Homo-oligomer: A and B are copies of this chain.
């Protein structure tokens, strides 16, 4: 029976999850792969630290050179840093070692360089865990939907923000209060910026759009807005109108042009992803044959992420046993234009606040009318707060709604735009 020597780079939540996943499934894996998976080295910053897992202390090292010079077949990078992780992965490829990574930050920014290095060194490179943890979305796209044309991806790709928005929706709480609770419970980091500002989701959108639309979409190409401005007022209006508010990652291709963005949006309560609650993730796909499909699971956490890493390990070991040739991951990528957010067409929810109780509704609506922006609903009448006007527009180009907002602001110094939220009626 063949030994497959594995090195883990990192032994935090995901690293220890991978360790436990391999140990707890040892017999099944041996039987199916006809190989022993041996974790031979673990790279950590402090090798003297006491660990919960019963790991042979001699396999810990704080020196990457120990790993690269050892007889390692497969490097599993679960550290999550940027520059150091990149250096380690590129070095691993140069030494002919296959690599698995869960590092979305790195792949969403330097994917192209990594695909190239993997191919040139004849190494497999897999990163299922980098997008929505346990959801096998890369594998579904690569091995199942392959051959058909994907038209649109819409996803709830971040567990922390989904937990916060779900709580706000269910309990009518303000953002700040739920965030504090989430931090206390460990659902949000002490510095939640990457989650709540949408950066984490944007990295997943970049990786997914690249794969679905065969082009290079990087983190900086993805227009990103977070959830920090969503108030309980916005959620309550959404609820009244039969909507939920979710932080969406969206990407689609139209006439060879790519749209890719992350923003909070009104979505109808009747759509499948509206029911994705708490820390769960879901990816909703539209493709030309299958039509609509959805994939749902935990997007983070020790074992769900480890499950995706283990799946990559198994697939690489199978590829190795079968002597499969390494294919360049971006072999079919073409350069495509990425549309600015100003070019998109959608409906908008505008919450307009008046600092004092002045009646300028008709002036406000005139601005929409003069600009040719259809107003579907003006729900001033329904709401108790006399100083708030809610406007729901028809589909309009984003650049136009921004001009309209400028005109509204110039109308009266007592007028403020409380929030502008996009409406995704057609997930």
Contact = CB atoms under 8 A, between A and B. Distances in A.
A290 B294 contact: no
A311 B144 CA distance: 5
Nearest to A135: B293
A421 interface: no
Given A143-B143, A303-B291, A324-B322, A25 B297 contact: no
Interface string A314-325: 110000001011
Q: Give the number of copies in the complex.
A: 2
A314 B142 CA distance: 11
Interface residues of A, number: 49
A147 B28 contact: yes
A296 B136 CA distance: 13
A336 to B, nearest CB: 15
A1 interface: no
Chain A contact residues: over half helix, strand or loop, or mixed? mixed
Contacts of A303: 288-291
A149 B296 contact: no
Given A290-B297, A297-B293, A324-B322, A139 B143 contact: yes
A226 interface: no
B311 A291 contact: no
Contact of A28 (B149, B291, B298, B306): B149
Interface of A: 21, 24-25, 28-29, 31-32, 128, 134-136, 139-140, 143-149, 272, 275-276, 287-298, 303-304, 306-308, 310-311, 313-315, 322, 324-325, 332
Q: Please list the 9 inter-chain residue pairs (A to B) with the smallest Cβ-Cβ separation, ordered nearest first.
A: A289-B307, A293-B297, A136-B144, A290-B307, A294-B296, A134-B290, A275-B275, A289-B303, A144-B311
